[in-house]
Amino acid sequence: MEKDFQDIQQLDSEENVRQVTGDEEQGPHRQNLRTENPFWEGQPPSQPFPHRLCSRFHLSLLALGFNVLLLVAICVTSSQSIQLQAELQTLKEAFSNLSSSTLMEIQALGFHGGGTDDKLTSLRANLEKQQQDLKADHSTLLLHLKHFPLDLRSLTCQLAFLQSNGTECCPVNWVQHGGSCYWFSRTGMTWAEADKYCQLENAHLLVINSWEEQVRKFTWIGLTDRDGSWKWVDGTEYRNNYQNWAITQPDNWQGHELGGGEDCAEILSDGRWNDNFCLQVNRWACEKSRNITH
């Protein structure tokens, strides 16, 4: 180790000697260049070899740390999954053995007289209680198994945040596209109810800024003229921005049974926009920035 350090010092000394010699040979010429051009265009002085060595060593340590963290997370989640599966199998075997032994006892009691009815009633009550307990344990285990992928996804998201130096991921069940996350409903609501739902998710109704963001699903979008002019719910400028209205739309049709015009925008099955009655029940889509993970 001491010999390597002496070699590094010798290399550094030789580089300094060469720099001094080069400066003495080209001194007048360089002074002229500095006088003629106020912005020096030469190469910046290189860092000493020990500094470069330390910088690479720190980067290697950082990469090694991230890899070790990822390996530990994978090992922990795999161990938990195996343990949960083993517990579920143990519960199934215990239930099967209990049912078999109880049936055998009931059959044996059939051959005896006297207080067999009371014993049979007690055994049945005991069996029902044990079955209920096993069902409760089984439901709890299934709940843990159901949430296991969510926990794994959350852990993966946090690791991605660390490894990408600040780039976060979309929440569970949201679709990532570009710099945003999208969620599409499977049920229907009025436009106002859908808008409130997205706000509770720290998001807003879908805002379409380009053809690449255009979806082809029958759904509400965050565009309304309830205040007299068409506006996007997130404040995006409407008049000079992307628009994809269907032919003759918006027409503000007044023929609805409940009265009133069409003040809320929706997407038709072909991707074109249509203005519709805001109390109509439609599916909806929410949008949020990708750097929100909850």
Name residues whose C-beta falls within 8 Å of residue 159's C-beta, 6 or more positions apart in sequence: 66, 69, 70, 73
CATH number belonging to the domain at 175-289, selected among 3.30.230.10, 3.10.100.10, 1.10.540.10, 1.50.10.100: 3.10.100.10
For the CA atoms of 210, 215, 218, 221, what is the dihedral angle to 10 degrees?
-40
Mean pLDDT of 87-110: 76
What is the model's pLDDT at position 283? 94
pLDDT band of residue 102 (cuts 50, 70, 90) is: confident
pLDDT (mean) for 209-227: 88
Q: Distance between the two ends of the chain, CA-based, in angstroms? A: 51
Q: How far apart are CA 269 and CA 263, in angstroms?
A: 19
**pLDDT class for 190, splitting at 50, 70, 90?**
very high
Highest mean pLDDT among 153-167, 182-196, 207-221: 182-196
Whether the link from the prior residue into 250 is cis, omega within 30° of 0, is yes
Distances (CA, A) of 46 to 12, 42, 257: 11, 12, 79
| Residue 286 confidence (pLDDT) above 80 | yes
Q: What pLDDT, on the 0 to 100 scale, is given for residue 1?
A: 47
What pLDDT band is residue 185 in, cutting at 50, 70 and 90?
very high
Q: How far apart are CA 209 and CA 238, in angstroms?
A: 9
How many Cα atoms are found within 13 Å in the side-chain-facing hemisphere of 254? 0
Strand order in the sheet with 219-224: 231-232, 219-224, 264-267, 273-276
Contact between 266 and 282 under an 8 Å Cβ cutoff? The reply is yes
Distance CA 71, CA 61 (A): 15
Per-residue confidence (pLDDT) for residue 118, from 0 to 100: 74
Q: Is the pLDDT of residue 223 over 80?
A: yes
Please indicate, yes or no, whether the overall pTM of this predicted structure exceeds 0.75: no
